[in-house]
Amino acid sequence: MSSKTKHTAKTEDSAATLVPQLRFPEFRNSAGWKGTTLGDEGTLLSSLTGKSGPDFDTGDARFVTYMNVFANTFVDPNSLRHVDVKVNESQNAVARGDVFFTVSSETPEDVGMSSVLLHDLDNCYLNSFCTLFRFRDPQRANCVFTGYLLRQPFVRGYFTQKAQGSTRYNLSKDAFRSLPLYLPSLAEQQKIADCLSSLDELIAAQARKVEALKKHKKGLMQQLFPRDGETQPRWRFPEFQDAGDWVQTSLGKISVVLKGKGISKADLVANGSQPCIRYGELYTRYGETIKEAVSKTNVPAAELTLSEPNDVIIPASGETKIDIAKASCVLAGGIALGGDLNVIRTKLNGVFLSYYLNGPKRADIAMVAQGDTVVHLYPKQLALLVVAIPSPAEQQRIADCLTSLDELITAESQRLDALKTHKRALMQQLFPSPEDHQT
């Protein structure tokens, strides 16, 4: 593949053409991509009237719905719902190569989302809030290429600008028909489709690997910690198989449970002198261990609760009872802990305790949390939590095992993110944009 500077040209019939930044070697000297519009290439067809509730999952027909279109570049046949619907000859069944667009949504960014059908499906129709586009000449555009083309930023930006409304946004048929497109030869379309499909397969395989590791971790945690009422786990490392029962006690007898001190969002400063952790970050930024804080503040240390190495923190408030049971071990001292945090200061291995609380004890923590709209968890409730504790050596072994697995999950997740970033950058270079056109 070779790199080429973006430019525009004029053909003899005055139709604008574009050349992408990056082309495969065999197309390096080919003509530019010819400009056209969606309306010039095919027709928009109506969908059936909306179906929901009892209409779904009862009949032989299938529906492509708004959510199917929004979810993926290509329609997943396995996600389509059966529907009880009477059809007649005037209603359009979907066909391979059809493009589905959302025509109405709550935000302007979500209208004009597209998904392409790559399969032949019998007795399948399109639900409301979507429109169907069908190429006049099926050989004009490669189905897979079309799917990637219509998810390009310039297409998304075009539809966002054309969306009309206030509480709900809609697109007119004229807006769809006027969408500018640039198409290369079928051979170049196929080459781009093959390249991006292969990359998507690699991304999907990496995503499955990450999910398999997360599933393995969840299953392993169920085996490494005792269940309620039991004093030994289902599985132990060989050196601890004859070590006897774990000792049952309450968290308050082996720990001191404190509260952090308030650090508001307004107190966060990008170049602040004091690293800090706010409760909301436990849900979005941290796992079972925290090596360093992502946020900083300039609130004086004397006004704050500072961590000691091995502290375990849990949110003191949240939206649901099960979500509030989210523990992290702070490995470093001197980090300010926000006011909506419970701080468990313990002589136990903090990493072990963090995994334990996030695993089999999570449901127990959820049971003692209070509230409905806003859920609260207090130090006195955590102090009463019954736990079973092994020897320090076994605590360390379990902590090391799960930490290593988390490090592997992080590494594989980073590989997945890198592949997605590579795909975005590649697509920006493989597809020219009308914004590059200079008259």
- Span 313-340, mean pLDDT? 88
DSSP β-ladder status, 124-126 and 305-306: unpaired
Task: List the one residue out of 179, 182, 180 whose CA is nearest residue 163.
Answer: 179
pLDDT number for residue 6: 45
Distances (CA, A) of 139 to 31, 260, 351: 19, 65, 60
Inter-helix orientation angle 392-430/186-224, to 10°? 170
Q: What is the pLDDT of residues 236-285, one digit of tens each?
A: 999 999 999 999 999 999 999 999 888 888 899 998 999 999 988 888 88
Q: Which CATH number, 1.20.1300.10, 3.90.220.20, 2.120.10.30, 3.40.630.30, labels domain 247-389?
A: 3.90.220.20
Residues of the chain with CATH 3.90.220.20: 33-183, 247-389
DSSP string for residues in 260-276: -----GGGB-TT-SEEE
Burial per residue of 399-427, b for 16 or more beta-carbon CB atoms within 10 angstroms, e otherwise: bebbbebbeebeebbeebeebeeebeebb
User: Tokens 């308050």 sit at which residue?
Assistant: 252
Higher pLDDT, 340 or 65: 340
Burial-class residue 101 by CB neighbours within 10 Å (0-12, 13-18, 19+): buried
pLDDT number for residue 252: 93
Task: Please answer whether residues 260 and 340 qualify as being in contact, where contact means their C-beta atoms are separated by less than 8 angstroms.
Answer: yes
Token couple for 427: 């697509």
DSSP E strands in 278-349: the ranges are 289-290, 295-297, 305-306, 311-315, 317-318, 328-330, 336-337, 341-346
Class of domain 33-183: alpha beta
User: Tokens 């004859």 sit at which residue?
Assistant: 242
Q: What is the pLDDT of residues 128-177, one digit of tens each?
A: 778 889 999 888 899 999 999 999 999 999 999 999 998 899 999 999 99
Task: Please answer whether residues 172 and 39 qualify as being in contact, where contact means their C-beta atoms are separated by less than 8 angstroms.
Answer: no
Task: Please answer whether residues 427 and 148 qualify as being in contact, where contact means their C-beta atoms are separated by less than 8 angstroms.
Answer: yes
Stated pTM of the model: 0.83
Task: List the one residue out of 211, 217, 214 whose CA is nearest residue 398.
Answer: 217
Say which amino acid occupies 422: H
pLDDT number for residue 116: 93
pLDDT at 25 over 50: yes
Find the DSSP H helices in 151-185.
Answer: 153-162, 173-177
132 φ, ψ to 5°? Answer: -115, 130
Ranking 10-14, 196-200, 423-427 by mean pLDDT, the lowest is 10-14
How sure is the predictor about 192, in pLDDT bands with cuts at 50, 70 and 90?
very high
